[in-house]
Amino acid sequence: MKKSKNNKNEKILLVGGGTGGHVVPLYNIYQFLLEREPDIPVAIIGSGSKIEQPFFGGLPNYFVLTSGKFQGYDILVNLWQSILFCAGFVQALVYLLQIRPKIIFAKGGYVTVPILIWARFLRIPYYIHESDTVMGRANRFAAKGAKKVFTGFPEKNYPELKKSKIIFCGQLITDMEKLDKSERFDFGFTNNNPVVFITGGSLGAASINKNVFGALSELLPKYNIIHQTGAKSFSEAIDVRVKLPGSMRRSYFVADFLSAISGDNKLLSAMELADLVVARAGATTVAEIARSGKPMVLIPYPHAASDHQVKNAQILQKTGACLMITDRELTPVTLTETISKLFDDKSKMKEMTASAKKFFPPHAIEKIGEEIISEVSK
């Protein structure tokens, strides 16, 4: 078990982990608290996933909790996950007795469940944030005992929640204007063609990657492409890039993961440079695109819990904020045609940008951060 080097008991506890949609917002809250109230100690509990390491790895106040994730109907897999959950359940109590937080903020993911079970038993108040239009399983459980539930979409999307608990604040994303010019990453493009940023999220998306590879011969003569592949497809993307002619190779930048850390924020650099973004429809990703003022093509992940990515994209498409291609419809041809049609209709792209910007209110990080500070200062 990892012990904090700080002799003072941490008063604020941040919990969440697993994917970028959990980790990046949690990191943004952590950064705000450090800047706003550096004398109030903050601890972080995560799942220990690879994606957490650039953000929290090495911090003395970062703790890794064993967590089980029940999935599908595989009895052996779920038996093993049950064992992990029980181990994490005991570990969570030990951490809470060690840290003794006055307030907990949870950003979803299975790692939050044992912590919040004990929080209710120990009567430690906690807040949660739900990014999507449909609540995830961990947050559905957590909402029952939460003091406040912050939401990424308007309260009408959460009829199962008590209205008195809901605070609509938007998504926990960094403002574009905070990216200093000295931090902007050079992607190495040597022409002035429009830039398309394609991402399947922090873990990548196999179906998007496969169809991008198939569309490169049509796309690269007209566009520069930034492609975040995720770790699993990265080596294949490098092989594809190496085989391209020189001029096309210089128009194709690939990365397994684009960092969103202050001082090395390649993700915001990509958003800022892009003329169009093609992405999955996770709420944090969509909000980052909208805040950057870029038109978007959304390809929802078809196996997301409660189909929340499809529902996110449908709500945005109804307001004219995006175009949606379902995973079933996605081919190299449909991808190329959709991108080309948008660049041929600049007025459509402007309308999409305006609609998307209106959809997500700013300053969510500040709103939640101030609520946490207010609670811990009582």
Measured torsion, CA atoms of residues 142, 144, 145, 150, in degrees rounded to the nearest 10: 70
What's the number of CA atoms in the CB half-sphere (13 Å) around residue 74?
9
202 belongs to an annotated ligand binding site: yes
Q: Which residues contact 46 (CB under 8 A, 6 or more apart)?
A: 15, 16, 17, 23, 26, 52, 56, 62, 63, 64, 65, 111
19 belongs to an annotated ligand binding site: yes
170 belongs to an annotated ligand binding site: no
Check: CB of residue 168 under 8 Å from CB of residue 151: yes
- Phi, psi for residue 296 in degrees, rounded to 5: -140, 150
For the record, the structure tokens of 378 come out as 């009582």
Provide the β-strand partners of residue 298.
279, 324
Query: Quick one: how far is CA 258 from the chain centroid?
Result: 12
- How many residues can be counted in the chain? 378
Q: What is the CA radius of gyration of the chain?
A: 21
20 belongs to an annotated ligand binding site: yes
Q: Which residues contact 202 (CB under 8 A, 6 or more apart)?
A: 19, 20, 21, 23, 24, 51, 230, 257
For the record, the structure tokens of 371 come out as 């609520």
What residues are designated binding site for UDP-N-acetyl-alpha-D-glucosamine? Answer: 19-21, 202, 309
What residues are designated binding site? Answer: 19-21, 202, 309
